Structure 1
Amino acid sequence: MTVRDPLEPILAALGAVRAGSSDYDLNPEVSLPPGRKLRAAGVLVPVLCSGGAPRVILTKRSSALKHHPGQIAFPGGKQDAGDPDITATALREAQEEIGLDPADVETLGFLPRHETVTGFDVTPVLARISVPFTPVPEVGEVEEVFEVPLAHLLALSRFRVEKRRWRGDWRHYYAVPFGPYYIWGATARILRNMAEMAGPR
């Protein structure tokens, strides 16, 4: 009996041209300045496919960080001058932040790019890890590394729109909570893009 690849619907959609997303998607009243300069960043969307049902690896940022303390994020960061491409950025950051060996990573393609309110043009790199993985969180930056079932994140019904005050105005955003983890903002939007690519379920 042939076992279906759980990533098959996403992989089938990778070749299609898709518009990127933005932290401003749900806030149409915001006017973005033309010609704005964004900084390139890459994040890894690692799907762990060993030891049971596939799970997406996420991190909880340290509460001591100046920017985005305690938030849920993908391993990743801004592109450095020494990175040959954005995939190299995502792999380098994943190795630094959670101890993921690039040799154990099968990169599969890019999810739609995402613009953040902090001025980053984020390219999510979808990847598969088919070997056992024991995370080693980077001290001072990563408080916790955890896994979320892929099935949970591909169910569009799990996503909801919420709002909070940001710089004096209400900001609407996607959230996809899982247990004690409040996954929201850019991370949730990137995951929703992936769920939309996988189709209704």
Structure 2
Amino acid sequence: MQETFQSVLDPLPVQQGTGPNETGVFRGDHDLNPASSPARGVIYKPAAVLVPIVYRDHGVSVILTRRATHLNKHAGQISFPGGRAEASDLTPVETALRESHEEIGLQPRNVEVVGRLNTYLTVTNYSVTPVVGFVDPGNDLIAEEGEVAEIFEVPLEFLMDAQNHRKHSGFHNGVERFWYAMPYKDYYIWGATAGMLKDLSERVPAK
């Protein structure tokens, strides 16, 4: 399966991103909200997340986290492990692996990175690089209580099935905004996380 993913993913970046990737292709919060398309000349803050895929006896899963409820931003939301790049991170891969180690105790040596998805630009001016990697199923994961309330897994097949993709909406400052959502059991996967999974689903060949 790693070979299949490698063939449909973009090559790994060699430097931190501050906007659309080198091909000029990007996804973002604007996908369903054209009026919020990124403005020219904006310098985005580089960030990266890991899209961790793991083989289990019962099938293939994606590891996700529920953010701690006491956080000032995105409290309780479902996300990939990851975050803002630090000065010592030479590439988005380094950022994604460092953050994954800090947040869920995932050892970098236990991840086989196979490629990346499109840059995801947020309305808060972050340029997020989603790095896809296969995780050793024997790795013991431990949530960092200051940031992560829960670590859980969702079947890859569920997330890749277009029938499980929704478009939801709500009002912010009197303006209706739309976003992708992939509700799974008691987990509401939405926003940037769902948008990145949507990108992945459009690349993975249907069964």
CA contact under 8 A between 1:156 and 1:200: conserved in structure 2? no
Deviations 1:50-91 (A, max 9, x none): 443111000000110000000000000011001121100000
**Where in structure 2 are there 5+ consecutive unaligned residues?**
12-22
Shift in Å at residue 15 of structure 1? 4.5
Residue 14 of structure 1: aligned partner: 9
Code of the residue aligned with 1:60 in structure 2: it is: R
Shift in Å at residue 8 of structure 1? 4.8
Q: Secondary structure at the match of 2:25?
A: coil
Residue 178 of structure 2: aligned partner: 172
Residue 120 of structure 1: aligned partner: 126
Deviations 1:135-183 (A, max 9, x none): 2101121000000001011111210111012233111010011100000
Aligned equivalents of 1:119 and 1:29: distance in 2? Answer: 15
1:33 aligns with 2:39: yes
Q: CA 1:15/1:60 → structure 2, altered by over 3 Å: closer, same or farther? A: closer
Q: Secondary structure at the match of 2:168?
A: strand
Shift in Å at residue 14 of structure 1? 1.6
Q: CA 1:56/1:18 → structure 2, altered by over 3 Å: closer, same or farther? A: farther
Aligned equivalents of 2:206 and 2:25: distance in 1? Answer: 19
1:187 aligned residue (180, 183, 193) = 193
Q: CA 1:156/1:83 → structure 2, altered by over 3 Å: closer, same or farther? A: same
Residue 98 of structure 2: aligned partner: 92
Residue 156 of structure 2: aligned partner: 150
Residue 58 of structure 1: aligned partner: 64
Shift in Å at residue 112 of structure 1? 1.1
Q: CA 1:18/1:128 → structure 2, altered by over 3 Å: closer, same or farther? A: farther
User: Which TM-score applies when normalising by structure 1?
Assistant: 0.91
Q: CA 1:141/1:15 → structure 2, altered by over 3 Å: closer, same or farther? A: closer
Q: CA 1:131/1:32 → structure 2, altered by over 3 Å: closer, same or farther? A: closer
1:133 aligned residue (131, 134, 139) = 139
CA contact under 8 A between 1:50 and 1:132: conserved in structure 2? no
RMSD, aligned CA: 1.7
Aligned equivalents of 2:24 and 2:3: distance in 1? Answer: 18
1:163 aligns with 2:169: yes
Shift in Å at residue 10 of structure 1? 3.1
**Where in structure 1 are there 5+ consecutive unaligned residues?**
none
User: Bigger CA drift: 12-21 or 159-168?
Assistant: 12-21
Code of the residue aligned with 1:14 in structure 2: it is: L
Q: CA 1:31/1:47 → structure 2, altered by over 3 Å: closer, same or farther? A: closer
Q: Secondary structure at the match of 2:193?
A: helix
Q: CA 1:166/1:25 → structure 2, altered by over 3 Å: closer, same or farther? A: same
Code of the residue aligned with 1:11 in structure 2: it is: Q
User: Which TM-score applies when normalising by structure 2?
Assistant: 0.89
